[in-house]
Structure 1
Amino acid sequence: MIGSRLKRVAAYVEGNSLADIGSDHAYLPIYLINEGIIQSAVAGEIVDGPYQAAVKNVQNHQLTSVISVRKGSGLEVIDDGEVDCITICGMGGPLIGEILLAGQSKLASGPRLILQSNIHAAAVRTALQRLQYKITAEDIIKDKKHIYEVIVAEKGNMNLTAAEIKFGPFLLKEQNEYFNEKWLKEYKHLQHILETIQHKADQTDKAKEIEQQLKLYREAVHFAN
């Protein structure tokens, strides 16, 4: 019912209750209930089409007594302390960061966060640091030619370096094949842009910015050395 991407997210779920924000068809909560991993869930969705699809899917699986499908923006669909774990998957990093910061009052009880961004995961790490959440695990997977990062966080302080914010503290230590595939592509892209603009007088600031990014690669990533 769910693909490898959501199964990887599911592997990090702990506790009895879950809120899945941007739940689409409520695939993840339904899977977790059916597998006996959690006992109850909230499926939050702001868009009417996916919300209606989630309602129907939960009804079809006869799980309306244990999965509450709610329409609303971000974390406004839950109360603080209502769930043990929150998942936000399939969105860009900046949007996930905005959802967390806007819903800060719903995080006072310290639920575990499992966040899967499609792009710009650095924005998620920056938001977590501001919210006094500490990254406890990271994963990077490839599903249907796309590479996704999964970030797991618990209440706690952390002070990430610039490289750790960009690449991820755990992913940076491992630097596996998917990590290298993702970042080598961007590294080469930045090199190409720099070669194109470095001799143009009106692109001096842009060239310096790219040089700083490439310097970060050379300092932190194995393939750039």
Structure 2
Amino acid sequence: MNNNLKLSNRLLTAASFLPNGAYFADIGSDHAYLPCYVCLSDPTAKAIAGEINEGPFDSAKATIRTYNLNEQVDVRLGDGLEVLQQEEVSQIIIAGMGGSLIKTILEKGKSKLSRVERIIAQPNVDARNVRRWFYENDYILTHEAILDENDHIYEVLVADKVSDSNPYSKEFMEKELLFGPLLLRNKSAVFKEKWTLEHQKLTKVIAQMRNASTPDSSRIKLFEREIAWMEEVLKDEKQSPK
């Protein structure tokens, strides 16, 4: 493989969930490093690099020229999934944004998803929002990864349109949406690190809310429930999520 293009670990992880011969869109592609990396690694792959801003759009075109990938990678300027034609791609990657923005992009672009078999999302924050959108729109969460890179913890979520499995339980679904039903099964060291930090942050938030002149008791109660979940998850005993 003649591929001297380097990707961050979070993007490498996202790209690893693409099948051979993928025809995919990378939304918010920036310099188009991810689609170029994939197409250099797999000559049968094709990609659309979507970018909303002209500066990164021009950078993406320059990257594609550098690696002679004009036949495999098409760069398009536009907002979210608007860059796609109907039934054009089979996979979509959206990486490096907040979960709320990823959810908005998917919701606004639902009409372009009829042929999309797999969505790979790498939210920088608020993965719960993305998991919920997948669930509500019949995309089944089939893989989750968590990694630490440059002092930031990232999650990668993979959802398929057709799958025999449902990773959620009715009784504990809200908890599983927060932590990730598949990540909960393994509770890796990085997973525990993330939720130890989140526990510390949320504890401080609750303390500040209680000291407010008019405390929001309903919101405090919701956060206290999440704190209890975190404490439960961080226990060393190996047990099923509750």
TM-score, with structure 1 as normaliser: 0.91
Structure 2 alignment gaps of length 5 or more: 1-5, 238-242
Q: Give the SS at the match of 1:223.
A: coil
Matched residue type, 1:3:
S
Partners of 1:184 and 1:78 in 2: how far apart? 40
Report how far residue 109 of structure 1 moved: 1.7
Give the counterpart of 2:182 among 160, 163, 170.
Answer: 170
Partner of 1:127: 133
Q: Give the SS at the match of 1:203.
A: coil
TM-score, with structure 2 as normaliser: 0.85
Partners of 1:22 and 1:78 in 2: how far apart? 13
Give the counterpart of 2:13 among 4, 8, 13.
Answer: 8
Partners of 1:98 and 1:194 in 2: how far apart? 28
Matched residue type, 1:41:
A
Query: Sequence identity, in percent?
Result: 37
Q: Deviations over 1:83-108 (max 9, x none)?
A: 12110000000000110111111111
Partners of 2:115 and 2:29 in 1: how far apart? 22
Report how far residue 28 of structure 1 moved: 0.5
Q: Give the SS at the match of 1:202.
A: coil
CA RMSD of aligned residues (A): 2.1
Partner of 1:208: 221
Partners of 1:26 and 1:81 in 2: how far apart? 22
Comparing 190-199 and 31-40, the one that deviates more: 190-199
8 A contact 1:44–1:71 mirrored in 2:
yes
Partners of 2:43 and 2:144 in 1: how far apart? 20
8 A contact 1:104–1:131 mirrored in 2:
no
Alignment of 1:7-156 (within 5 A): 7-14=12-19, 15-36=21-42, 38-156=44-162
Give the counterpart of 2:198 among 181, 186, 198.
Answer: 186
Report how far residue 139 of structure 1 moved: 0.2
Give the counterpart of 2:234 among 216, 222, 225.
Answer: 222
Report how far residue 200 of structure 1 moved: 6.3
8 A contact 1:184–1:223 mirrored in 2:
no
Work out the number of aligned pairs and report it.
224
**Cα 1:118–1:37 shift into 2, 3 Å:** farther
8 A contact 2:89–2:116 mirrored in 1:
no
